[in-house]
């Protein structure tokens, strides 16, 4: 039992590839990634960006790579969307609803388009598998995934909803992959959610790559509803062209360990990047949001707003980093993190960092951690509202700030219900 845990994954990789794993056109990418993964190994807490999150217990467990099975999906209340369903990582056309996609929009399975020029030249070039071991692991086990391609000047009126359905009787590892290419002047909204079988124990390791072309706009909403047995690692990498807009909304409700790495590369002028997040945790849930905004070119704007509510023994981590490179003048970058601790045992670690090498910029960050405003509570109680209801009201409005910012209006009600469920 003295083997490195990475060796177990390497053995699994060899087994996986011997059973028609990665499609031939992507095989060399996968081989590079596994090499890199073995070299880097899983992150330890000595690593500055994993300082507050110990992923080792989750990694040390034994997981099965599960095959697709017959399944049903629930979808999300109130959401009318083009739906692409993946069961245990494999595309399930029977469950998907993609008939009404407008012209110029393609939602496909990676298996079907792996030799496509676009995939060949872009897949794996935004999600950094050199330094991020989880991305390397996902890339090594490349098989299927969602590919969304929007041609220039095309605008979608309905969101695309990607559902990852995870079904397994035994502990499972599933590694979803999403690639979105929004060409010049196109616009779309994508919602990503997972559905688990009850009481499943699972680790999902998602990698999402998004390319936003000139004057394009992409809104990406990641809904992460977990149980104490499900852990999620998500690496979302975005590459922005000039005058483009990108917005990410991450909603995390529970889970065992949840780690989000969100990295934005604004590589042209006049980009706008908005990163919002709400995380709610109780029991022993550990939620770690790691963001990195790389302002490589001048005249860009970025804004981050993360809020958290932590109950019981939950732990929250916010680690935001904004990098303004030399000569990237006239950048406006804002970072805010607000957290509420509800119990003596909940903990919050916040590290909003700025790294700035250009002088004509406006960057600011703010972080606050505390409990509910006593005056506010008193006011509500003096109006005859019970303490419990007053608390609920205040926390809902605290969380509501982030929900209201999400452009996918159809999901607001569902998100409020989820907040209420977490506060109960």
Partner 1 sequence: MNTDTQYLHEVAESDYEHGWSTDIDADTIPKGLNEDVIRLISSKKQDPYWMLESRLRAFRHWQTLLADSEKYPRWAHINYPQIDFQEISYYSAPGNKPKYESLDEVDPELIKTFEALGIPLEEQKVLAGVAVDAVIDSVSVATTFKEELAKHGIIFCSFTEAIENHGDLVQKYMGSVVPYTDNFYAALNSAVFSDGSFCYIPAGVRCPMELSTYFRINEAGTGQFERTLIIAEEGSYVSYLEGCTAPRRDENQLHAAVVEIIAHKDAEVKYSTIQNWYPGNEDGKGGVYNFVTKRGICEGQGSKISWTQLETGSAITWKYPSVILKGDHSIGEFYSVAFTKGRQQADTGTKMLHLGRNTSSTIISKGISADRSNNSYRGLVRINKGASNARNFTQCDSMLLGDRCGAHTFPYLEIHNPTAQVEHEATTSKVGEDQMFYCQQRGISEQDAIKLLVSGFCQDILTQLPMEFAVEARKLLAIELEGSVG
Q: Cβ of residue 371: shortest distance to partner 1, in angstroms?
A: 5
- Window 160-189: residues binding partner 1 (CB under 8 A): none
Q: Cβ of residue 336: shortest distance to partner 1, in angstroms?
A: 10
Among 28, 125, 364, 386, the residue binding partner 1 under the rule CB under 8 A is 364
DSSP 327-396: T--S-EEEEEEEEEE-STT-EEEEEEEEEE--SS-EEEEEEEEE---HHHHHHHHHTT--HHHHHHHHHH
Angle at alpha carbon of residue 109, lines to 239 and 126, rounded to 5°: 20
Stretch that binds partner 1, among 76-84, 104-112, 226-234, 361-369 (CB under 8 A): 361-369
Contact between 5 and partner 1 by CB under 8 A: the answer reads no
For residues 303 to 342, the per-residue mask of contacts with partner 1, x marking binding by CB under 8 A and - elsewhere, is: -----------------------xx-x---------xxxx
Structure tokens at 385: 């509202």
Q: Cβ of residue 7: shortest distance to partner 1, in angstroms?
A: 23
| Alpha-carbon gap, residue 50 to 411, rounded angstroms | 32
Among 369, 381, 396, 412, the residue binding partner 1 under the rule CB under 8 A is 369
DSSP 252-294: EE--SEEEEEEEEEE-STT-EEEEEEEEEE-TT-EEEEEEEEE
Contact between 346 and partner 1 by CB under 8 A: the answer reads yes
For residues 34 to 53, the per-residue mask of contacts with partner 1, x marking binding by CB under 8 A and - elsewhere, is: --------------x-----
Among 12, 69, 111, 363, the residue binding partner 1 under the rule CB under 8 A is 363
For residues 379 to 398, the per-residue mask of contacts with partner 1, x marking binding by CB under 8 A and - elsewhere, is: --------------------
- Render the burial of 168-178: b for 16+ CB within 10 Å, e for the rest: beeebbbbbbb
Among 360, 401, 404, 413, the residue binding partner 1 under the rule CB under 8 A is 360
Q: How many residues bind partner 1 (CB under 8 A)?
A: 37
- Cβ burial of 72 (10 Å; 0-12, 13-18, 19+) is exposed
Selection from 243, 363, 192, 368 nearest residue 293 by Cα: 363
Q: Cβ of residue 345: shortest distance to partner 1, in angstroms?
A: 8
Classify 184 as helix, strand or coil: coil
Stretch that binds partner 1, among 182-190, 194-202, 269-277, 368-376 (CB under 8 A): 368-376
In the bound state with partner 1, the residue whose beta carbon lies nearer, of 367 and 380, is 367
Contact between 352 and partner 1 by CB under 8 A: the answer reads yes
- C-alpha separations of 353 from 10, 306, 342, 410 in Å: 35, 14, 26, 34
Parallel, antiparallel, or unpaired for β 90-91 and 82-87?
A: antiparallel
Q: Cβ of residue 241: shortest distance to partner 1, in angstroms?
A: 25
DSSP 28-48: HHHHHHHHHHHHH-S--TTSG
Contact between 284 and partner 1 by CB under 8 A: the answer reads no
Structure tokens at 166: 């995870």
| Alpha-carbon gap, residue 129 to 136, rounded angstroms | 4
Contact between 290 and partner 1 by CB under 8 A: the answer reads no
Stretch that binds partner 1, among 55-63, 123-131, 161-169, 359-367 (CB under 8 A): 359-367
Binding site for partner 1 (CB under 8 A): 48, 326-327, 329, 339-371
């Amino acid at each position: 039992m003295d083997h490195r845990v990475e060796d177990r994954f390497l053995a699994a990789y060899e087994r996986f590839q011997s059973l028609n794993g990665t499609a031939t056109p992507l095989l060399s990418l996968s081989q590079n990634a596994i090499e890199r993964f073995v070299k880097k190994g899983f992150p330890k807490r000595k690593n500055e960006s994993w300082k507050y999150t110990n992923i080792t217990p989750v990694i040390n467990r034994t997981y099965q790579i599960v095959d697709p099975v017959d399944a049903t999906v629930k979808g999300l209340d109130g959401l009318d969307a083009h739906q692409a369903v993946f069961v245990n990582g494999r595309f399930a056309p029977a469950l998907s609803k993609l008939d009404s996609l407008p012209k110029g929009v393609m939602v496909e399975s990676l298996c079907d388009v792996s030799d496509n020029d676009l995939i060949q030249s872009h897949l794996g070039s935004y999600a950094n598998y050199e330094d991020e071991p989880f991305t390397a692991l996902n890339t090594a086990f490349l098989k299927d995934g969602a590919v969304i391609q929007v041609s220039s000047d095309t605008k979608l009126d309905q969101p695309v909803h990607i559902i990852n359905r995870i079904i397994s009787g035994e502990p499972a590892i599933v590694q979803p992959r999403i690639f979105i290419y929004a060409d010049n002047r196109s616009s779309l909204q994508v919602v990503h959610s997972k559905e688990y079988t009850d009481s499943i124990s699972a680790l999902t390791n998602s990698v999402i790559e998004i390319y936003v072309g000139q004057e394009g706009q992409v809104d990406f909403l990641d809904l992460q509803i977990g149980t104490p047995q499900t852990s999620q690692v998500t690496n979302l990498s975005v590459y922005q062209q000039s005058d483009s807009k990108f917005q990410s909304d991450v909603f995390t409700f529970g889970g065992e360990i949840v780690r989000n790495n969100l990295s934005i590369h604004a590589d042209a002028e006049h980009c706008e990047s908005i990163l919002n997040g709400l995380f709610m945790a109780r029991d022993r849930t550990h939620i770690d949001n790691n963001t990195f905004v790389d302002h490589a070119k001048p005249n860009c704007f970025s804004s981050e707003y993360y809020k958290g509510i932590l109950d019981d023994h939950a732990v929250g981590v916010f680690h935001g980093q904004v990098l303004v490179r030399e000569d990237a003048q006239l950048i406006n970058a804002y970072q805010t993190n607000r957290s509420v601790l509800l119990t003596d045992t909940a903990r919050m670690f916040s590290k909003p960092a700025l790294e700035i090498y250009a002088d004509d910029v406006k960057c600011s960050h703010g972080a606050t951690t505390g409990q509910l405003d006593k005056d506010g509570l008193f006011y509500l109680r003096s109006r005859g509202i019970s303490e419990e209801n007053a608390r609920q009201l205040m926390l809902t409005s605290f969380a509501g700030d982030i929900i209201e910012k999400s452009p996918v209006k159809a999901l607001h009600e569902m998100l409020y219900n989820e907040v209420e469920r977490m506060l109960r």
